[in-house]
Chains A and B, each alone.
Chain A
């Protein structure tokens, strides 16, 4: 008997369950990928959905017993906080303000980023790379670094050539303008990629048929880039809707002064008590518009729209 045969494992030796599993996994890697997939998905679902679940439990708890601590089930049961949030303060107005900021910024960003995306994605001109990199570099600055000069500008503390700028503090402009600038680079990058992929022939055809370049952009290129435009739009909308820094500091604390949702939620905290159940309920209500938007927009995203456009 040679040494090699001695080292071989006899076929009849009993094997452990783990060894069996490893053997079958090596033979059938699909199994492992599937297992990994579920592990990752469950992890993400837990980390994203659990806070929402716990928030709901807090909101449903009895306001007097919240301080006792809330576990996986509400402490006491009082769904009335979902009504009370609108009675204590005009929460709907705070929601409306945030919604206006997000909508205006999204419209603004999509229009301007479309023009920029067209230029960067479809035209050849000198300095294109440099310009694109500059846009990228600007987006690296922390937004807070722009705050003080912008605040002074918007509250008319600076005059330029003897002209005072209009007072934008406590108006949508004070929030929409800086946030548009901050979220513009991302939208420009997304749209540049999408617009750059639309075949030249389609734009040429539109121009021959009677549009200008601008007309071709909005009649042909943008509709065909619907997934990209929707992505850029949703990202901007959600980012602005969730934004805290500028929307909190550039506006007053009252709903009439264009205060955003954060101000509303904070105002459930008074000198004498903190209504955690109301805060939780208001937070859940605030999520609803965004959730609806994402669901609706997802249906609108029809990918593969260009299939059959051109014969390659």
Chain B
């Protein structure tokens, strides 16, 4: 059993607080991805689990053991690093067996394990090469073999694919998923790339500013983001946000151009409250394609078009000739729409769009916490229980 528990972890560097009140509960055999922008503290978190960095306060448990004060070598972990970190003066065999040599394994057992690990990552016949003679992908596989050969309780991976080229990265992504289903070991994975987080993990822990924002299965983070940060970070291209306030009949944007009708009482908001409306690009629909519950049409003009082949990204502005604020495009009325390739849209054209009402999100403008997901039959976000608990119940 190798669960990982972080309790009230706090990490300070001098007077800077890198991690504040971090609580994580990672189950046995789970693939959890820590995701967040650069400098959010995700690497610090994984280093604390590894023991390379000591938390200022709080407890870390691996399985039943309190490992907070243990050195890395006694924690039963293996780690794959972003910069690969193979020992350049040792050949592949010595690199993979380094940990076993330190633990005085006998030669036959060591050979068997190294063979097996090399087999898993398809490195047969390369055991006598030096790292400098290998390609980036091969080195990365050696690093993974070095990690699995010790059969650790927990794998830690700190952006292991960040230095590979795009094609290899997608390939290694599926390899890692296969590896996880084969080994059934707990894996903690750090990345800033939300695509990797979405595709590989059982659960995603979104971190920002040293605080855990949400830990949930990828689709829950996508469909029911806990706050505005998660909503904006998960999903690509990012969600559109519109500031506005609650009216007796629903939502009205600051510009007055966007109106959404719903019953404010049903989600427990009061008239006049400042809120942010969130809508994903794929839920912005040209009015003639509208099906199901949609909002009243919004008059827009197409600005820039980005045809991707299988889809088109259309940048809409709510008034012609408006300058878009580079820092915060949605504040100045820019809306990104994602439509199918056959949709007849052209640049610089007037276009009425509607929003899919079942997929609208409402956030508190001050606290940025989610108020409601889906305004067709508005469901209030119950802030009392976390969605992680809800997910745990549905597991049973």
Contacts and interface: CB of A to CB of B under 8 A. Distances in A.
A205 B82 CA distance: 11
Contacts of A205: 79, 81, 85-87, 146
Contact of B72 (A202, A208, A311): A208
Interface residues of A, number: 24
B52 interface: yes
A201 B88 contact: no
Interface in B97-134: 98-99, 102-103, 130-134
A204 B88 contact: no
B320 interface: no
A215 interface: yes
Nearest to B139: A311
B56 interface: no
Given A308-B130, A311-B163, A204 B102 contact: no
A308 B131 contact: yes
B83 to A, nearest CB: 4
B185 to A, nearest CB: 15
B71 interface: yes
Interface string B65-84: 00000011100011101111
B81 A308 contact: no
Contact of B78 (A199, A208, A211): A208
A306 interface: yes
A199 B85 contact: yes
Contacts of A311: 83-84, 136, 139, 163
B182 interface: no
Contacts of B139: 308, 311
Contacts of B136: 311
A235 interface: no
Interface in B1-54: 50-52
Nearest to A205: B85
A46 B136 CA distance: 50
Nearest to A215: B102
A220 B98 CA distance: 11
Given A208-B73, A211-B102, A212-B73, A308 B88 contact: yes
B55 to A, nearest CB: 17
Contact of A209 (B83, B99, B134, B163): B99
Interface residues of B, number: 32
A32 interface: no
Given A208-B50, A311-B163, A224 B88 contact: yes
B71 A207 contact: yes
Contacts of A305: 88-89
Contact of B85 (A204, A307, A312): A204
Contacts of A202: 85, 87
B73 A209 contact: yes
A121 B205 CA distance: 35
A182 to B, nearest CB: 32
Contacts of A212: 71, 73
Given A210-B99, A212-B71, A212-B73, A224 B89 contact: yes
A228 B224 CA distance: 57
B52 A204 contact: yes
Contacts of A307: 88, 132
A309 interface: yes
B85 A310 contact: yes
29 contacts: A204-B50, A204-B72, A204-B85, A206-B87, A206-B98, A207-B52, A208-B50, A208-B72, A208-B73, A208-B78, A209-B73, A209-B99, A209-B146, A210-B73, A212-B71, A215-B102, A224-B87, A224-B88, A224-B89, A306-B88, A307-B88, A308-B132, A309-B85, A309-B86, A309-B87, A309-B132, A310-B84, A311-B139, A312-B83
Interface of A: 199, 201-202, 204-212, 215, 220, 223-224, 305-312
**Which are the 5 A-B pairs with shortest beta-carbon distances?**
A308-B132, A309-B88, A201-B85, A209-B99, A210-B102
Given A202-B85, A310-B84, 19 more contacts: A201-B82, A204-B50, A207-B72, A208-B72, A208-B78, A208-B79, A209-B102, A209-B150, A210-B98, A210-B99, A223-B89, A224-B87, A307-B132, A308-B130, A308-B133, A308-B134, A308-B139, A309-B132, A311-B84
